């Protein structure tokens, strides 16, 4: 047997995501690179680790046993690294955070200095939609979660990071005047929605419901980037978080349409389970946020107040 730690890591990620494409995205590798690592690992076993039916990959019972063993091996490797750093007096361990998809434009800026100060801390950051974020928190699989809509029927504590502003946006094909439009404009334009379970969609639907609107739902897409590209291509309009469209506004691909009642505002909150027992790393990070939050906002999000 000549399998490598990298092969085990790739295979474990495939079993967790049930997808070569998603595993590649989370490991920041190309799909061919992930497929090659899977093949190299499979070549060392006579029993299949996976099987493909249609276009979907399934993990065999034997593959699940190998994945469980791989996880134990990788955890032991992490433990060795942590012990080495501990002898040097460094803060060590994993910081696990789940983030709603649009939160990927926010969370890295509240992490970078902390991670630079503590090289012994390993970050595990999962970006997904709100329903999956809340589920991981509910199962106590993570230290913190970043959301723009607080979960209902769940006891959590939180720290506010910054405002989340959402605007009606379109591409540049039709030039709107600078005058403030009545919110009935939402009933006149085809709207592009995020998928069910998205925090952005929930905020959007709440606004439409509160104002008793009958809107034209053009399509539903599963990521903020997909919505953005569809709007740029002229397929419709959408209510989007400002945080994710800065570059497109600057280069003229998108325009904010001034509408009464906008921006819709929520708050980016970092949340955790009430009475959770924090690791030393999680405790240190929470303290860091409380002390450095304002500085981070001023340094990275000063432009935000212009809108």
Across the strands, what pairs with 238?
169
How far apart, in Å, do the first and last CA atoms of the chain sit?
A: 59
Taking only the tens place, the pLDDT of each residue in 166-217 is: 999 999 888 877 789 998 899 999 999 998 888 899 999 999 999 999 998 8
Residues with Cβ < 8 Å from 30, sequence gap 6 or more?
24
Q: Which whole-number Å values give the CA distances from 233 to 102, 105, 152, 171, 236, in the listed order?
A: 20, 22, 36, 7, 8
Q: Quick one: which of 234, 276, 268, 266 has its CA closest to 253?
A: 234
Q: Which of 86, 113, 130 is the last residue of a domain?
A: 86
Query: Residue 49: is its pLDDT beyond 80?
Result: yes
Across the strands, what pairs with 264?
166
Whether residues 95 and 216 share a domain: the answer is no
Whether residues 158 and 168 share a domain: the answer is no
- φ, ψ dihedrals at 130, nearest 5°: -60, -45
Mean pLDDT of 38-55: 91
Taking only the tens place, the pLDDT of each residue in 103-122 is: 999 999 999 999 999 988 98
Q: Which of 64, 86, 108 is the last residue of a domain?
A: 86
Whether residues 35 and 48 share a domain: the answer is yes
Please report which confidence band the pLDDT of residue 298 belongs to, taking 50, 70 and 90 as the band edges: very high
* Residue found by looking up tokens 């001034």 in the block: 258
Whether omega before 263 lies within 30 degrees of 0, making that bond cis, reads yes
Give the CATH number of the domain where residue 74 resides.
1.10.10.10
Whether residues 140 and 283 share a domain: the answer is yes
Whether residues 152 and 294 share a domain: the answer is yes
Distance between CA 292 and CA 294 in Å, rounded? 6
Q: Which of 28, 59, 86 is the last residue of a domain?
A: 86
- CB of 238 within 8 A of CB of 231? yes
Whether residues 32 and 22 share a domain: the answer is yes
Q: What is the pTM of this model?
A: 0.69
DSSP-derived 3-state class of residue 253:
coil
Whether residues 245 and 288 share a domain: the answer is no
Whether residues 210 and 279 share a domain: the answer is no
Whether residues 81 and 15 share a domain: the answer is yes
Q: Quick one: which of 202, 224, 194 has its CA closest to 127?
A: 224
- SS3 per residue for 33-86: HHHHHHHHHHCCCCCCCEEEECCEEEECHHHHHHHHHHHHHHHHHHHHHHHHHH
Whether residues 244 and 277 share a domain: the answer is no
Please report which confidence band the pLDDT of residue 131 belongs to, taking 50, 70 and 90 as the band edges: confident
Q: Counting Cβ atoms within 10 Å, is residue 25 exposed (0-12), middle (13-18) or buried (19+)?
A: middle
Query: Residue 82: is its pLDDT beyond 90?
Result: no
Q: Counting Cβ atoms within 10 Å, is residue 87 exposed (0-12), middle (13-18) or buried (19+)?
A: exposed
Query: Residue 84: is its pLDDT beyond 70?
Result: no
DSSP-derived 3-state class of residue 176:
coil
Give the CATH number of the domain where residue 114 resides.
3.40.190.10
Whether residues 158 and 169 share a domain: the answer is no
Tokens of 235: 């397929």
* Residue 118 domain boundaries: 91-162+267-306
Whether residues 143 and 290 share a domain: the answer is yes
Number of domains within the chain: 3
Minimum mean pLDDT range among 84-93, 135-144, 159-168, 247-256: 84-93
């Amino acid at each position: 047997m000549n399998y490598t730690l990298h092969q085990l890591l790739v295979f474990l990620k495939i079993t967790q995501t049930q997808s070569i494409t998603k595993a590649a995205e989370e490991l920041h590798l190309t799909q061919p690179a992930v497929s090659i690592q899977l093949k190299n690992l499979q070549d060392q076993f006579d029993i299949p680790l996976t099987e493909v039916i249609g276009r979907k990959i399934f993990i065999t019972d034997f593959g699940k046993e190998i994945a469980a063993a791989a996880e134990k091996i990788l955890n032991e490797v992490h433990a060795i690294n942590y012990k080495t750093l501990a002898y040097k007096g460094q803060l060590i361990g994993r910081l696990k955070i789940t983030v709603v998809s649009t939160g990927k434009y926010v969370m890295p800026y509240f992490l970078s200095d902390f991670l630079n100060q503590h090289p012994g801390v390993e970050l595990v950051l999962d970006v997904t939609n709100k329903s999956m974020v809340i589920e991981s928190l509910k199962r106590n699989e993570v230290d913190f979660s970043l959301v723009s809509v607080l979960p209902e029927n769940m006891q959590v504590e939180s720290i506010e990071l910054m405002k989340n502003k959402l605007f009606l946006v379109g591409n540049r094909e039709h030039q709107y005047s600078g005058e403030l439009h009545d919110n009935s404009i939402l009933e006149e334009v085809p709207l592009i929605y995020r998928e069910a379970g998205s925090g952005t969609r929930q905020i959007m639907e709440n606004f439409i419901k509160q104002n008793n609107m009958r809107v034209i739902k053009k399509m539903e897409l599963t990521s903020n980037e997909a919505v953005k590209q569809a709007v740029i291509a002229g397929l419709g309009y959408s209510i989007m978080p400002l945080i994710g469209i800065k570059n497109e506004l600057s280069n003229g691909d998108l325009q904010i349409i001034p509408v009464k009642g906008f921006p819709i505002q929520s708050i980016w909150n970092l949340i955790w389970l009430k009475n959770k027992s924090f690791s030393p790393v999680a405790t240190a990070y929470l303290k860091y946020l409380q002390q450095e939050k304002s500085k981070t906002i001023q340094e990275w999000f000063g432009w935000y107040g212009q809108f």
